[in-house]
Copies of this chain bind each other. A is one copy, B any other.
Amino acid sequence: MAGNSFGNIFKITTYGESHGPGIGVVIDGCPSGIELDLTFIQAELDRRKPGQSKLVTQRKENENFVIQSGVFEGKTTGAPISIFIPNEDQRSKDYAHLADAYRPSHADYTYQMKYGHRDYTGGGRSSARETAARVAAGAVAKTLLKTYQIEIYAFVSQIGNLKIQSESIDYTKIESNEVRCPNEAVAKDMADLILKTKKEGDTIGGIVACHILNCPIGLGDPVFDKLHADLGKAMLSINAVKGFEIGSGFSSVTMKGSEHNDIFYNEGGHIKTKTNHSGGIQGGISNGMPITFRVAFKPVSTLMQPQPSVNSSGEEVVLEGRGRHDACVVPRAVPIVEAMAALVIADSLLLARAYGLGQP
């Protein structure tokens, strides 16, 4: 396997499965002298963890993390920061019936074909638990970005057919409800829809929107490493994500250029745009406006109802989810989207420092 690292200058490497000793992440490239707040890292992990509300899986996981290196007297030393999160509730027995069968729309079949030898207890590296490592690393990246006043807010903008407009958001409302939708009325309907779907033994998808505020002008590079291309890859690497759009996104295809172009104006010496269809990025480079994007999550594949499938001998079998699974993963995906965004921005920021901004 390759591809367990992300980033170039601010780079993380994750490891671990849901049913071994634990999962972890090594962060290489964090500047020295950054004060780390362990309470903040824990809070971020808690936003992602299962069992935090009645909307999500009731599987309990205490995300107690250990920092194993790279921090001295509360501050980063510049050395790699290793964060380990032990697994507490392994329960491999839940998975014995899956050793040989391929769950629909999971990675079982592709793993078996690619690797020959497969850890069937918990999905291997495709376990959603892997994202806890991303959130821990993202908390470190966010801490770095705070020194630049950069803020990142993700929130749920759609569950099934229920949606809000994601343009003008009261960020203080995001954590006011279990769905993490800043419109509380719609949030209530969304919660009802998730619970109803859960009762049916079914699952439902949704959209997470994300705004990055106060991003310096000049992050991203104009050709292959456009800032939104890196954000897109980051988001598409999250489990269950099926789509990504920046700014106007797919809605731009029905617009005329005269309607879509963001007109520049001078606001007290600062150049801004009247609209933000560009989503804060032009020619692959941040322009100082809020960076806005949206991420589509499919419905979870594990259903509490029987489904036909085949096993590794090609025989027909019937599978049904056991244990405790999410009917909708979207509210828990909010901190993951923020973490991946923070990693991309931290990496782009350090790279821009390397080249200078507007000077040799």
* Inter-subunit contact A125/B79 (CB<8 Å): yes
Residue of B nearest to A124 (CB): B79
Query: Could you say which of A56-64, A173-181, A247-255 contacts chain B?
Result: A247-255
* Inter-subunit contact B242/A250 (CB<8 Å): yes
11 contacts between A and B (CB under 8 A): A1-B78, A13-B28, A110-B217, A111-B283, A124-B222, A144-B360, A159-B253, A202-B258, A252-B297, A261-B307, A266-B314
Of A22, A26, A78, A158, the most chain B CB neighbours within 10 A belong to: A78
Which of B15, B242, B247, B261 meets A104, CB within 8 Å? B261
* Inter-subunit contact B2/A114 (CB<8 Å): no
A181 CA / B186 CA spacing, docked (Å): 39
Known A32-B360, A126-B222; contact A77-B119, beta-carbon cutoff 8 A: yes
Q: Mark A235-272, 1 if CB is under 8 A from B, else 0.
A: 01100001111111110111111111111111001010
Contacts of A356 in B (CB 8 A): 31-32, 353
Contacts of A13 in B (CB 8 A): 5, 13, 26, 28, 80
Q: 13 new A-B pairs (CB below 8 Å) besides A206-B253, A250-B250?
A: A1-B28, A1-B223, A15-B70, A16-B80, A78-B117, A105-B282, A232-B232, A233-B233, A243-B244, A245-B296, A266-B310, A266-B314, A350-B355
* Inter-subunit contact A278/B105 (CB<8 Å): yes
Residue of B nearest to A76 (CB): B117
Contacts of A269 in B (CB 8 A): 314
A183 CA / B61 CA spacing, docked (Å): 52
Contacts of A232 in B (CB 8 A): 229, 232-233, 236, 244
* Inter-subunit contact B358/A79 (CB<8 Å): no
